[in-house]
């Protein structure tokens, strides 16, 4: 596609529900990243994929968070049993190879009531 696409753009859920956030990277980009940005805060790294494998999962805040990537393309970030502190904007980015330019999507804004 022309850019990194994320869906949904906005998600409101109740505490304890599971949510899935989707990222469709730029076609041909092998590296994919997930970040979280809380209101007024900086970027918090969550996970990095190279192809379908995730060499760096160090940023996932708890075992309620998981992510997968299939076909070297689309990635899904899943948050189980959501908590209010999970409310944030979840940003996805991709790059063409290991050391290329990073491109971001518009983000998915998650609100947990």
Partner 1 sequence: KQEVTQIPAALSVPEGENLVLNCSFTDSAIYNLQWFRQDPGKGLTSLLLIQSSQREQTSGRLNASLDKSSGRSTLYIAASQPGDSATYLCAVRPLSYGQNFVFGPGTRLSVLP
- Distance in angstroms (rounded) separating the CA atoms of residues 20 and 10: 12
Looking at the Cβ atoms of 80 and 96, the one nearer to partner 1 is: 96
Residues that bind partner 1 (CB under 8 A): 4, 31, 33, 42-43, 45, 48, 50, 55-56, 91, 93, 98-99, 101-107, 109
- In angstroms, give the least distance from the CB of 2 to partner 1: 14
Strands 10-13 vs 108-112: parallel, antiparallel or unpaired: parallel
Structure tokens at 54: 């995730």
- Distance in angstroms (rounded) separating the CA atoms of residues 83 and 113: 8
- In angstroms, give the least distance from the CB of 70 to partner 1: 20
- Distance in angstroms (rounded) separating the CA atoms of residues 100 and 30: 10
Looking at the Cβ atoms of 2 and 14, the one nearer to partner 1 is: 2
Looking at the Cβ atoms of 74 and 96, the one nearer to partner 1 is: 96
Q: What is the dihedral of CA 43, 61, 48, 19, to 10 degrees?
A: -90
- In angstroms, give the least distance from the CB of 56 to partner 1: 5
């Amino acid at each position: 596609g022309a850019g990194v696409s994320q869906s949904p753009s906005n998600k409101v859920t109740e505490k304890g529900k599971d949510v899935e956030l989707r990222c469709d990277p730029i076609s041909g980009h092998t590296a994919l990243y997930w970040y979280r940005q809380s209101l007024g805060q900086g970027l918090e790294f969550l996970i990095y994929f190279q192809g379908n494998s995730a060499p760096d999962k160090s940023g996932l805040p708890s075992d309620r968070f998981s992510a997968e990537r299939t076909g070297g393309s689309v990635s899904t970030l899943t948050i189980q049993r959501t908590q209010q502190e999970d409310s944030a904007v979840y940003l996805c980015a991709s790059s063409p190879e290991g050391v290329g330019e990073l491109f971001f999507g518009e983000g998915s804004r998650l609100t947990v009531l």
